[in-house]
Amino acid sequence: MEKLRGKVAFVTGGSRGIGASIVKRLSEEGADVVFTHSGKHQQKANKVLESIKANGRRGEALVANKEDPAAIKKALVATIERFKAIDILVNNAGIYVHKTIEDYSFEEFDQMINVNVKAVFVTSQFAASHMKDGSRIITIGSNMADRVSGAGGRLYAMTKSALIGLTKGIARDLGPKNITVNLVQPGPIDTDMNPANSDFAPSLKSQTALNRYGKTEEVASLVAYLSSDESQFITGASLTIDGGYNI
Residue positions annotated with a catalytic role: 156
Specify the DSSP element, H or E, that contains 10: strand 8-11
Rg for the chain, CA atoms, rounded: 17
Cα gap 94→19, rounded to integer Å: 10
CA distances from 82 to 31, 87, 223 (A): 14, 14, 24
Per-position DSSP letters for 103-159, written without gaps between them: T--HHHHHHHHIIIIIHHHHHHHHHHTT--TT-EEEEE--GGGT---STT-HHHHHH
Work out the number of other CB atoms within 10 angstroms of the CB of residue 190: 19
